[in-house]
Amino acid sequence: MKRLFYKPLLAATLLLCCWGCKENIDTSARYVFTSDCVMTYLEKHEAYSEYVRLLNLTPISIRSKSTVGQLLSARGNYTVFAPTNEAISKFLQELYEEDPTLLSSPSWEAFSSDHKRDSIYKVIVCNSIIDAGDHEEALMTNGFPPESGNEFPLSNMNDRKLSVRYRGVDSIFINNTCPISLKERDILATNGVIHQMERVIAPKDVTASLYLQEILDQEKEGFLVMAKAIQACGLMDTLSKIRDEVYEDLYLKGQIPEFVHLYIDGHFPNGDNWTPRHRLYGYTIFSETDEFWRAQGLDPTESSTTLLPKLVQWIVSNHQYADDDVFTTDAPYDIPTSLLYQWTTYHILPFRTPAERLVFHRNEFGYDKSKPLARTIPVYEIYTTMGKPRLLKIYESKESEGIYLNRFPKLDNGRTTVLREEYCDPDKVGCFVDRDPDKAILSDIINCCIYPIDAPLSYNDNVRDNLAKQRLRFDGMTLFPEAMSNEIRLKLSSDEKNQDVYIPKTSTYNYFENMQMNDQTTFIYLNAYGYNWCNLHSDEMKAKGRFELTFKLPPVPRRGTYEFRYDVLPNGDRGIQQFYFGDDPNRLPAAGIPVNLTKGIGSMNVGYERDGNDEDYNIEVDKRLRNNGVMKGARSVTADGSSGDIERNRDSNLRYIIVRQTLDPDKTYYMKVKSVLDSEDKEFYMDYMEYCPKEVYDNPETPEDVW
């Protein structure tokens, strides 16, 4: 019997009903059930006759002669936002009014070429369908996102992400401007669901640079000051990049393998590991608003020639830099030594991240997947910004009531309490990130999201000092901006092509710029959606073969003594690897002796004991383990947030202290791992890493917390 897996749309509407008003609205008659497949249902209804014609004319891809109409007649799990005949007619009228050179009148016969007409077919058809793959479970993840402005977990057939917008009690829009019919929605077919659209979904290929240029040309207030700063810093060309065309060409020619056959750990019986279809570029901009700048006495509409020197003077006067920074204040601004360049690039991350992926909620302590909006313990991500490598912390907790940049609250992080914010001093609150789709730019730009912030953002002494006083835990996937821009990391899908992703060998194409591997390494990312593994966010990275991999690491915030740690979930499939660490990737010194990834902390002769009721004794056990170069796992990481095992309580999970040495924020550090076994079958494994300053790990008054 087929499950009714589209209840998330109804649930989202019900949530809105609860939030928006007190009236009880009857939704019991909303669902329409049909025994037809998607295509048959559309063919039976005259309102979709033009859409059906286009489905039968549009090929699935340039590699296939099959049409999308044939696809929707086959077994599968599809979400179809079907435009009516009237919607398509209106779309042609809009095209004609916008560009009369494209078509001489609002009709299909009026296009200037068949190629241009066929491209519009594809726009209408491929933007309207999300294919959830072969697994019915994967289709469940296409349930409508719970918050306005969030994107659907999977891309449409045009490789674009669609967002949802809730307005009022029962009005739902796709990409802000395309309303779903109030009556003809949730039509459950045998191979998917249909929602009638009153307007064609046709997102434009507007890049960040084009969007910002339009702001400049029209002097449109909102982010006008930021647009002028970005232009002056010579970043417009960078922000115009959409995808790596070299990789695209190699993939289409078959020189990038579509997948490899790699049997891993018994979890993937067919062994197919899929290669990314694209290598997209992306950016995330956090920006003070023009309203903020007016309050500071700056006029956003003033000429850049006079405005930007005033902006630089404001940065200097308000000490939005660190005392040991070296910079110039005069033009030109498009050089790394320019203060404006340093300040502006710190506002930009080198990947695109939508509102629901600024931080991740997956398996942290106490998190319940059935209540996705209920926050529990604080979570954060550590990223490296554009320009000179610097750290940016993105943070959210139950108490913060939103997402902040560089927030440093006082935490209740005791050994027997549940991690939470106690309070946050005014000078440590950080910048609130506004995700309201009325203010943030979320779906208007193909390669970027722009978020307004409520306070000035800079890498000043206060930020660096606070970062240098805390343990900095970063997921291995944060090293790779490509993983975010290409929707590889933590994709909410159990479909095989999204679960275990093969990254081409460096000699074939350097897909992850911050990772190099030898030709004996086969590397995959395991999304592990639904597997409840006891890793940070559940996911992990693996490789097989006589592996040798080198990773470029984030910078440290201050010069000082740090421990660099590496988290491990050992088992018999792992290998034995030698670590190397240093600032010259070609001459990295070995860090200690080889590490046996097959042995858990409980099977090592290091004095391990599981936590008991005597906390003083538990602390002594922790000290004994540290003396042997290892630590228990983190208490914050669980197998399943609401009920699963805690990493700290498992006798398999552990953290290795790889090095303990002085690190410099102006140097770039690398970690290399190399197999010491003559084996093709043993695995490399990586989850998360940590920089921990001496002030934290060797603090006699406040020992390092267990979280």
- Residue 148 pLDDT exceeds 50: yes
User: In 10 A of CB 324, how many CB atoms?
Assistant: 11
Instruction: Please state which of the ranges 22-36, 299-313, 377-391 shows the lowest mean pLDDT.
Output: 22-36
Residue 593 banded pLDDT, cuts 50, 70, 90: very high
How confident is the model over 47-89, as pLDDT tens digits?
999 999 999 999 998 767 899 999 999 998 999 999 999 999 9
Which overall architecture, per CATH, does domain 7-197 show? Roll (2.30)
Place of tokens 């005033």: 310
pLDDT at position 27: 34
- Residue 7 pLDDT exceeds 70: no
State the average pLDDT over residues 301-305.
97
Q: Measured in Å, how far apart are the chain's first and last C-alpha atoms?
A: 44
Tell me the C-alpha distance between 128 and 481, whole Å.
Answer: 28
Q: Strands across the sheet with 178-179, in order? A: 164-167, 171-174, 178-179
State the average pLDDT over residues 511-519.
97
Q: Helix 85-98 vs helix 114-126: angle between axes, to the nearest 10 degrees?
A: 130
How confident is the model over 594-636, as pLDDT tens digits?
999 999 999 999 999 999 999 999 999 999 999 999 999 999 9
Rg, C-alpha atoms of the chain: 26
How confident is the model over 676-686, as pLDDT tens digits?
998 888 889 99
Instruction: Please state which of the ranges 294-298, 588-592, 640-644, 663-667 shows the lowest mean pLDDT.
Output: 640-644
- Residue 383 pLDDT exceeds 90: yes
pLDDT at position 351: 98
How confident is the model over 422-437, as pLDDT tens digits?
999 999 999 999 999 9
Residue 133 banded pLDDT, cuts 50, 70, 90: confident
pLDDT at position 213: 98
Tell me the C-alpha distance between 423 and 420, whole Å.
Answer: 9
Longest CA pairwise span in the chain (Å): 82
Tell me the C-alpha distance between 451 and 440, whole Å.
Answer: 5
Nearest partner of 186 among 56, 70, 28, 49, judged by Cα = 28
3-class state of residue 448 by DSSP: strand
Q: Strands across the sheet with 283-288, in order? A: 348-349, 283-288, 448-453
How confident is the model over 325-360, as pLDDT tens digits?
999 999 999 999 999 999 999 999 999 999 999 999
3-class state of residue 124 by DSSP: helix
Q: Which CATH class is domain 471-697?
A: mainly beta
pLDDT at position 135: 59
Nearest partner of 382 among 691, 677, 698, judged by Cα = 691
How confident is the model over 228-260, as pLDDT tens digits?
999 999 999 999 999 999 999 999 999 999 888
Domain boundaries, given as residue ranges, for the chain: 7-197, 471-697
pLDDT at position 636: 96
pLDDT at position 2: 28
pLDDT at position 8: 35
H or E stretch covering 568 = strand 560-568
Q: What does the buried/exposed string (b/e) look like for 409-445 if buried means 16 or more CB atoms within 10 Å of the residue's CB? A: bebebeeeeebbbeebeeebbbbbbbbebeebbbbbb
Q: How many helices (H) and strands (E) does the chain have?
A: 18, 33
Mean pLDDT of all residues belonging to the chain: 91
